[in-house]
């Protein structure tokens, strides 16, 4: 997956010879995103101005946008070129292979290829390659405009489609609850299953695996989420639900002790009628 391209599936940046490179400033990242999503097409000055200043463009918007484009040309040297073409600008990849110019184009190509493949193993390989392109929410660090918001939604749907297709392909390979450790191209990988640290099978010390089903729900209720416990500065045993259970057990034991004392000829406690020795 290394190479030279513009990356949009996460914080907007560049990948130059396999090395990530930041795009400084929200305005430059926004221009990169708008031009890259329409790579090879002319994007008008008005569309770029609206993306940079949604609904509130200043009087100097066009001149400022042109200065941003000049800065962007130098930043994209060796990755892409920006040419003036009425009524705006067009971004062209270097070399001129639009299929690899952005990670979005790569993802779309691989998803389309996985749809055409009849082989579940090949589908799994392709879709894992697609999902590995995401580094967080798409188009991170850009100005929130109507156009880019719609593109975030579109790319989120693309990611969800790849996840569902990967699930179906793994099912087609015969994977299920009992085949979690299957090896081979279709088998689970660390990114597919994320067991809680120290709770999964094969942990050091040979401990039991994490509970599943209803037992897992009870375990989470009693011990609390590890993340929430860390945020609250609690040890797992200090979860409020666990303290509640311990308190109920204590009260039950006290009540039972009072009842046993009453049957042995002693007094009945407050819960048993209010008499004292």
* 208 belongs to a structural domain: no
In contact, 47 and 147? CB cutoff 8 Å: yes
Residue 60 lies in a domain: yes
Q: Are residues 89 and 13 in the same domain?
A: yes
Read off the CATH number of the domain in which 24 is found.
Answer: 1.10.10.10
Q: Is residue 197 part of a domain?
A: no
Residue 256 maps to a domain: yes
By residue range, what is the domain housing residue 44?
5-97
User: What are the φ/ψ torsions at residue 13 (nearest 5 degrees)?
Assistant: -155, -170
Per-position DSSP letters for 147-187, written without gaps between them: HHHHHHHHHHHHHHHHHHHHHHHHHHTT--GGGTT--STTS
Count of domains forming the chain: 3
189 found inside a domain: no
**Res 114: pLDDT:** 97
Structural domain contains residue 254? yes
Query: Rounded to two decimals, what is the model's pTM?
Result: 0.65
- Closest to 133 in 3D by CA, of 110, 153, 154: 110
User: What CA–CA distance (Å, rounded) separates 218 from 84?
Assistant: 63
For residue 249, how many other CB atoms are within 10 A of its CB? 10
Q: Tell me whether residue 233 is in a domain.
A: yes
Last residue of a domain, one of 43, 63, 97: 97
Residue 202 resides in a domain:
no
| Per-residue pLDDT tens listing for the chain (277 residues) | 458 999 999 999 999 988 999 999 999 999 999 999 999 999 999 999 999 999 999 999 999 999 999 999 999 998 999 999 999 999 999 876 777 899 999 999 999 999 999 999 999 999 999 999 999 999 999 999 999 999 999 999 999 999 999 999 999 999 754 444 444 444 555 445 333 343 333 333 344 444 444 444 444 444 455 555 555 565 554 555 555 556 666 666 655 555 454 455 554 444 444 444 4
């Amino acid at each position: 997956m290394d190479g030279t391209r513009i990356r949009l599936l996460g914080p907007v940046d560049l990948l130059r010879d396999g090395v990530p490179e930041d795009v400084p400033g929200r305005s430059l990242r926004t221009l990169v995103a708008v031009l890259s999503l329409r790579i090879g097409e002319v994007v008008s000055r008005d569309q770029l101005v609206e993306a940079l200043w949604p609904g509130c463009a200043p009087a100097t918007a066009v001149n400022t946008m042109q200065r941003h484009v000049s800065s962007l040309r130098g930043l994209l040297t060796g990755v892409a070129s920006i040419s003036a073409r009425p009524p705006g600008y067009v971004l062209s990849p270097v070399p001129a292979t639009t299929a690899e110019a952005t990670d979005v184009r790569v993802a779309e190509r691989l998803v389309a290829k996985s749809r055409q493949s009849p082989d579940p193993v090949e589908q799994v390989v392709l879709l894992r390659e697609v999902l590995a392109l995401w580094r967080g929410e798409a188009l991170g660090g850009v100005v929130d405009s109507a156009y880019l918001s719609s593109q975030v939604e579109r790319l989120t749907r693309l990611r969800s489609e790849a996840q569902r297709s990967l699930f179906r392909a793994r099912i087609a390979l015969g994977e299920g609850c009992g085949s979690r450790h299957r090896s081979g191209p279709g088998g689970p990988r660390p990114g597919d299953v994320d067991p809680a640290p120290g709770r999964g099978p094969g942990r050091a010390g040979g401990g039991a695996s994490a509970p599943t089903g209803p037992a897992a729900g009870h375990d989470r209720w009693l011990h609390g989420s590890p993340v929430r416990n860390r945020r609250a500065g609690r040890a797992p045993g200090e979860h409020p639900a666990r303290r509640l259970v311990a308190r109920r057990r204590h009260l039950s034991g006290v009540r039972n002790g009072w009842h046993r004392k009453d049957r042995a000829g002693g007094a009945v406690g407050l819960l048993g009628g209010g008499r004292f020795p």
